[in-house]
Amino acid sequence: MNLTRSELVSAVIPTRNRPDLVTRAVLAALHQTYSPMEVIVVVDGEDKSTEARLAEIDDLRLRVISLSTNVGGSEARNIGVRAARGGWVAFLDDDDEWLPQKIALQMRAARASESVFPVISSRMILRSPARDFTWPRRLLQSGEPLSEYLFCRREFADRPYAMQTSTLFMRRETMLAVPFRTGLKMHQDWDWLLRASCYPGVTFEAIPEPLTVLHAEDSRATVGRNLDWQFSLRWAHEMRPHFTRKAYSFFVATECFTRAVKSKAGAAVYTHLVCEFLARGSPTLRSLLWLAAFTCFPHRLRACMRDFLRRDLIHTTGTTHDSHRAGSASKMLVESPH
């Protein structure tokens, strides 16, 4: 069957030294109900075991790009995009998986969009050994600045990230114009989202239904657990034009300050971050309460409180937490300012 570039979707999966996990991710991508797919796995450095496992998958839609040296996840994704034959690109981390209808529903939403460069996300299922719950609890509201959606938590049960890479679907042209930035050891998702939101013609839309499963096993280290508050603060300084003052205060309180407290950085650092929170941001009662919570309550107590507050989010996989009709798209206004 001859496919046009506009029909073909390229799934890009970076991986290294996780053959079992990436095999699960690849099969989830190949088993989509939308069949005009190619799956590009970028093996990020010498990894014979992963190459051998992938060679066992008998599907001509699978392509494996093996890199001789490690370049990092961001550049591995960029390499996959440059090699893609499809007009559309979707990303999948090797430890996550897609539900079968993900690409079909996102393609439908993209084709219905009035945007030149729609970026389609979705809710996701956060899966741990103890429970599943659907995230995010709410979608971006019309007129809401992207930085405030990402960082301004409304409830103590809230998490900061809401458009994780494995949920994203967009035109290949968008990714060629705004590639992932290399050299970042964390905040890669946020960095791309904030920069892409400034590209002319880009809008963000979301499928209310959860379409991606994000595995959050405690036994595996994740970028989000990195305690380098200095890196977070440097990144926030660099990206400051993309933040509202309110969002900046929240970021300092919930990302920089929490990392400093967990790493026991000391009173001088806490004072410095409080000054940053007050002087360069625009504190609100909520962000002040967050700062106080990180100061006064131990991490274990905060985690227990969040788990208790999230009890209403537990669901059976395959059902949705949202009352919207499955497959409908909710417009998330992140119009380019240009």
> Is 30 within 8 Å of 97 (Cβ atoms)?
no
SS3 12: strand
Please tell me the predicted confidence (pLDDT) of residue 296: 66
Please tell me the predicted confidence (pLDDT) of residue 46: 94
Please tell me the predicted confidence (pLDDT) of residue 226: 67
Q: How far apart are alpha carbons 243 and 193 in whole angstroms?
A: 12
Locate tokens 């926030």: which residue?
Answer: 236
Give the C-alpha distances (Å, rounded to integers) separating 49 from 17, 43, 55, 58.
7, 11, 10, 17
Please tell me the predicted confidence (pLDDT) of residue 65: 98
Domains, the chain, with CATH or none: 9-222+316-332 (3.90.550.10), 225-311 (no CATH)
Please tell me the predicted confidence (pLDDT) of residue 182: 95
> Is 64 within 8 Å of 44 (Cβ atoms)?
no
Residues 6+ apart with CB under 8 A from 266: none
Locate tokens 């919930």: which residue?
Answer: 254
Please tell me the predicted confidence (pLDDT) of residue 307: 55
Token reading at 311: 């009890």
Please tell me the predicted confidence (pLDDT) of residue 133: 86
Q: Provide the CA 111 distance to its chain's centre, in angstroms.
A: 22
Cα(first)–Cα(last) distance of the chain, in Å? 40
Q: What is the mean pLDDT of each run of 10 residues along the chain (338 residues)?
A: 80 97 98 97 97 97 97 97 98 97 98 96 91 87 90 73 89 98 94 96 95 75 67 96 96 91 90 92 87 67 50 44 37 38
